Structure 1
Amino acid sequence: MLNSAAKASIDVLIVEDDAITRSMLAAAIATEPHLKLVAALGSVKEAQDWLATGRADMLLTDIGLPDGSGIGVIRTCLQRNPDCDVMVITMSSDEESVLACIEAGAAEYVLKGTGGIDIVRSLMELHAGGSPISPVVARKVLARLRSGKSGPAMVPQTPALTRRESDILCLIARGDSYDAMARELCVSVSTVQTHVKNLYGKLSVHSRGEAVFEANRRGLLQMHALKARC
């Protein structure tokens, strides 16, 4: 029975240089029986050394580490294990940091100050296929898109979205939660999740941030309509 439970556990690697924050994250993870902390490290070097032989299902990392950037840890982790889910937890919410993390492969970006219970809830949602993003960060991403600095414009292949998928895309860009989307559209949360899954499939993405940037790159996110709605 114990062996079966161990196989079903979700292995989490923490990379955070602040000892108090690291301990808080470790304690929060210990409250969720499905999560198993495999290592809690404090630098890029420690993480790189651990990843040379270790493997995790989820990576929870800061960006600003004493000997480099957590973005390098993300890249190394995903090179060795492309299926790993990556959550960034940091003090920085500037557009450049958000963009860099998303481009490196992070599926979720939350700010320090988020409670341990909320972080664990987000980890479980991320592992289940969702990808919540902090409303503060969502507004930063949206501001970046509105400034017209989000990169290449359109690509030739542009998938056709249904009206409902376009609505969902707008709400994702606005930073709404699944519950808020369900209330806005007068549908169930499970219906919202189905539309999000279909949207991700059409865009070939795995997270909210990727969906917003890819949709904007393909010309699917109409910023004038988004401004009017938001």
Structure 2
Amino acid sequence: MLQAVAQAPVTVLLVEDDAVTRRMFSLAVQEEPSFQLQAALDSMQSALDWLEGQSPDILLVDLGLPDGSGIEVIRYCACHSPATHIMVITTSSDEDSVVASIEAGASGYLLKDVGRMDIVASIRELREGGSPISPTIARKLLAKMRDARPAQQEVDAPQDDKPQIALTKRESSILELIARGDTYVEVARQLSLSVGTVQTHIKNIYDKLSVHSRGEAVYEANRRGLLQMDRLKSR
């Protein structure tokens, strides 16, 4: 009789200089049986040194480190360990930090005021290909893009050489919901779909837009005029 092969735990590297926050996130990871905390570091250099020889499944990293920026850790990890899923954990909600993190290679952006269950759920979502972003962050990012859109449209006016993207009605609905910060579970509940079906649609959206994260999808969809920003603002 064939025996089921035990699934390998999801390995996590945590980079956070604040001792209290580092302990909270460490405990959240350690108390989840399917996760394995490989290291909990407190500086940029220690993280870069660690990443020279190891590749975690998940990198959780703060931006404000005592000896440099978490952006450098994100950039290094994305380059040397492309299979690693990266999520920012921070108190900073300014739009420039969000954009810089996404451009460096992060796929998630989580504020530190979350609870243990949210930490675990966000890591799972990240591991499954999602892009968990705190709703507050998502709304600020949308506001920034909404304000910048008229100028961007003028810059991007010649569209003839750009392939046209066609989303289905369902894909458009899902895109609007994730753009305003809804989780996969919330999207599934509102559209009466399974979470798996929502994830399949989101993968198709990412493929059509040639992106790899929620933040990139929202940015690219907005740039191409596929998001109705005024409609999102009114919700």
**Aligned equivalent of 1:205, options 187, 211, 233:** 211
Which residue pairs with 1:106 in the alignment? 106
Which residue pairs with 2:180 in the alignment? 174
Q: CA deviation at 1:114?
A: 0.6
- Asked whether 1:226 is paired with 2:205, we answer no
CA contact (8 A) 1:41 1:47 kept: yes
Q: CA deviation at 1:27?
A: 1.1
CA distance in 1, matches of 2:45, 2:152: 34
Bigger Cα displacement from structure 2, 144-153 vs 210-219: 144-153
Secondary structure of the corresponding residue to residue 32 of structure 2? coil
Q: CA deviation at 1:180?
A: 2.5
CA contact (8 A) 1:150 1:213 kept: no
Which residue pairs with 1:50 in the alignment? 50
Opposite residue 219 of structure 2, the aligned amino acid is: F
CA distance in 2, matches of 1:46, 1:150: 43
CA contact (8 A) 2:149 2:223 kept: no
Q: CA deviation at 1:60?
A: 0.3
Q: CA deviation at 1:88?
A: 0.5
- Asked whether 1:34 is paired with 2:40, we answer no
Which residue pairs with 1:185 in the alignment? 191
CA distance in 2, matches of 1:8, 1:224: 45
TM-score, structure 2 normalization? 0.88
CA gap 1:18/1:151 in 2 versus in 1, 3 angstroms: farther
CA contact (8 A) 1:142 1:174 kept: yes
CA contact (8 A) 1:138 1:174 kept: yes
The 5 Å alignment of 1:40-119 reads 40-119=40-119
Bigger Cα displacement from structure 2, 130-139 vs 68-77: 130-139
Secondary structure of the corresponding residue to residue 106 of structure 1? coil
CA contact (8 A) 2:74 2:105 kept: yes
Opposite residue 124 of structure 2, the aligned amino acid is: M
Q: CA deviation at 1:151?
A: 8.8
CA distance in 1, matches of 2:215, 2:93: 13
Aligned residues: 225
Secondary structure of the corresponding residue to residue 148 of structure 2? coil
Q: CA deviation at 1:102?
A: 0.8
Deviations 1:111-159 (A, max 9, x none): 0111122101110121012222111111111111111169955561232
Bigger Cα displacement from structure 2, 16-25 vs 171-180: 171-180
CA gap 1:20/1:151 in 2 versus in 1, 3 angstroms: farther
* Gap regions ≥5 residues in structure 1: none
CA contact (8 A) 1:151 1:217 kept: no
Deviations 1:15-41 (A, max 9, x none): 000111111111111111221111111
- Asked whether 1:136 is paired with 2:136, we answer yes
Secondary structure of the corresponding residue to residue 227 of structure 2? coil
Opposite residue 192 of structure 1, the aligned amino acid is: V
CA distance in 1, matches of 2:102, 2:20: 26
CA gap 1:76/1:186 in 2 versus in 1, 3 angstroms: same
TM-score, structure 1 normalization? 0.90
Opposite residue 130 of structure 1, the aligned amino acid is: G
| Runs of 4+ more than 4 Å apart | 149-155
CA distance in 1, matches of 2:75, 2:200: 29
Q: CA deviation at 1:214?
A: 1.4
